[in-house]
């Protein structure tokens, strides 16, 4: 079945609103007339909706209806899928997910709804869209669990074992109020999650390796850890010497080391 496509250009701007509104009325009257006569419904497309970017865009008329036998939308989706290919290295110590490489011992963001039990009863917001929202949980990547052959690894079947780090607001509102926004607490709690639960990368450094915090807003995804939290006992204490936490490497540390040598 062939489809006839008629591309119409309409002027844009507030000065053309009345003219465009009159043109829309003519189109509606024509559609009603065709409906009464039992004729086929005419359809039209006004804009391109791009769900990944959450917005409407002008129609790409320069690549529509060219008669070349290729579909620009298909090629766009194909390029997008190739761009976000999921791959695991042969040693199963790192993987690439959404153009970001993750390795064992890296620190990652995970949405808190991925965890079964969370502290409740502290929604003290006065109202608005922030009610109930929580910051991403911070975890350390411990192991990559790839499905056994012949199934190909992908982000919906490959799992990661992670160690949970807690934020002050996970303990109490009072603790959140008086603590550094960059502080997190080590724990012995581990979880096994799908790779698709990962929201991004972050860093946990020694407090002395953090950049100065003079600005009122923190833009770097950097945190520090000096304490151990036991969610079962509710206890918080200094990180014991026997726990050798692997911190994120501070940028420029290797360069300064070479200079000292």
**Which contiguous run of DSSP H or E holds residue 100?**
strand 100-103
Residue 99 CB contacts under 8 Å (≥ 6 apart), including other chains: 83, 84
> Can you list the residues of the chain whose pLDDT is less than 70?
1-5, 65-70, 74, 80-83, 116-132, 149-151, 213-219, 251-261
pLDDT of residue 237: 94
Q: Which of 66, 44, 50, 48 is nearest to 58 (CA)?
A: 48
pLDDT value at residue 216: 53
Residue linked to tokens 């079945």? 1
CATH superfamily of 85-116+133-249: Bromo adjacent homology (BAH) domain (2.30.30.490)
Rounded to whole angstroms, how far apart are CA atoms 16 and 25?
14
Q: Say what the pLDDT of residue 96 is.
A: 92
* Global pTM value: 0.64
The predicted-structure confidence for 182-231, as pLDDT tens digits, reads as follows 999 999 999 999 999 999 999 999 888 887 766 555 557 899 999 999 99
Report the pLDDT value the prediction gives residue 192, as an integer from 0 to 100.
94
pLDDT attached to residue 125: 45
Specify the domain boundaries for CATH 2.30.30.490 within the chain: 85-116+133-249
Q: What is the DSSP letter of 166?
A: B
Share of the chain above pLDDT 70, in %: 77
pLDDT of res. 257: 37
Centroid of chain to Cα 4: 40
Quote the pLDDT of residue 190: 95
């Amino acid at each position: 079945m062939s489809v006839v496509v008629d591309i119409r250009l309409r002027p844009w701007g507030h000065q053309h609103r009345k003219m465009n509104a009159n043109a829309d009325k003519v189109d509606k009257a024509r559609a009603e007339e065709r409906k009464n006569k039992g004729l086929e419904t005419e359809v039209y497309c006004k804009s391109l909706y791009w769900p990944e970017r959450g917005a409407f865009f002008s129609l790409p008329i320069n690549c529509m209806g060219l008669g070349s036998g290729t579909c620009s939308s298909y090629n766009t989706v194909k390029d997008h899928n190739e761009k976000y290919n999921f791959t695991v290295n042969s040693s199963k110590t790192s993987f690439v997910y959404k153009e970001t490489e993750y390795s064992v011992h890296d620190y990652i963001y995970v949405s808190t709804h991925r965890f079964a039990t969370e502290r409740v009863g502290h929604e003290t917001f006065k109202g608005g869209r922030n009610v109930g929202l929580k910051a991403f949980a911070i975890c350390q990547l411990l192991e990559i669990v790839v499905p056994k052959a012949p199934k190909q690894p992908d982000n919906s079947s490959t799992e990661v074992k992670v160690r949970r780090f807690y934020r002050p607001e996970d303990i109490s509102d009072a603790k959140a109020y008086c603590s550094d926004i960059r502080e997190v607490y080590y724990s012995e709690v581990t979880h096994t999650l799908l790779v698709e639960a990962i929201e991004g990368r972050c860093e946990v450094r020694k407090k002395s390796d953090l950049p100065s915090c003079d600005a009122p807003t923190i833009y770097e995804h950097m945190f520090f850890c000096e304490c151990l939290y036991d969610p079962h006992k509710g206890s918080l204490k200094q990180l014991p010497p026997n726990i050798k936490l692997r911190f994120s490497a501070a940028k420029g540390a290797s360069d300064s080391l070479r200079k000292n040598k």
